[in-house]
Amino acid sequence: MARCKPQRPPPTHHIPPTNNPQAAPLAPLALLFLAGSQLLLWFVILSGVTHSPPLRQTYFLRADTSGIEGARDISQWTYFQVCGLDNTDCGGSHPALPLGFAWAPHANNAPSDLIGKYGGGTTSRYYWYMWRFGWVFFLLALFFEVLAFFGGLFALCSRLVSGLTGMLSLVALFFFTIAVSMMTYVFSLPLVLPRITPPCDPNKHY
């Protein structure tokens, strides 16, 4: 009479958890950094839109333009406008406004490196494109940061969402790095426009 061989139990495989509990505390910290980055980026984009602090003190460059035809004594370049001291006496709001909107077209005494046929005869070709591309990259960085922030809210629920959120953050960092590099180079004009620091008024509330 044949004897039945005992059946072996099927091998068990260790199924890793879908989420790493040790990495869970890092998620709120990442969202906090993303939120802080967006807040500071909004300060840059909304600079000059109000006379109230802190947006009143936010600008890219402050320079003495008193000797240039059609320019203010002091010009401050913001994201949408060219303003006077403390972001007052601002001109019209324009998307990717030309750098030379601080003075009149074909202005006398304007720096030869900055003036040209672009922007209605106010800006040279080089600074026209450098400023406009940097302006666009700031918006692209903000767009991908917002997507990464809302994606991070659901990153703990899915590995796929977590991976996509990480990719969106890297894309936002890429565009933001390009924007900051271009804007920094555009407004690094110590030999062309004299930068000024007005004296602090102790009776003025900032």
The total number of structural domains in the chain stands at: 1
CA distance 77 to 52: 17
CA distance 75 to 60: 10
Instruction: For 76-119, give the DSSP string.
Output: EE-SS-EE-GGG-S-----TT--GGGGS-TT-TT--TTT-SSHH
| Cβ–Cβ under 8 Å, residues 167 and 59 | no
Residue 24 domain-assigned (yes or no): no
Residue 1 domain-assigned (yes or no): no
Q: What is the pLDDT of residue 111?
A: 84
Residue 193 domain-assigned (yes or no): no
| Cβ–Cβ under 8 Å, residues 65 and 99 | no
| Cβ–Cβ under 8 Å, residues 82 and 91 | yes
Residue 131 domain-assigned (yes or no): yes
pLDDT tens digit at each of 206 positions of the chain: 556 555 666 555 554 444 555 555 677 888 899 899 999 898 888 887 766 777 777 888 888 888 899 999 999 888 888 988 888 888 888 888 888 899 999 999 888 888 899 999 999 998 899 888 999 999 999 999 999 999 888 877 778 888 898 899 999 999 999 999 988 888 775 445 655 555 555 555 54
**Which range of residues forms the domain containing residue 144?**
33-186
Residue with structure tokens 């555009």? 186
Q: What is the pLDDT of residue 161?
A: 83
Residue 9 domain-assigned (yes or no): no
Residue 199 domain-assigned (yes or no): no
Residue 174 domain-assigned (yes or no): yes
CA distance 157 to 160: 9
Residue 126: strand, helix, or coil: helix
Q: What is the pLDDT of residue 169?
A: 92
At 155, list the tokens.
């990153």
Residue 128 domain-assigned (yes or no): yes
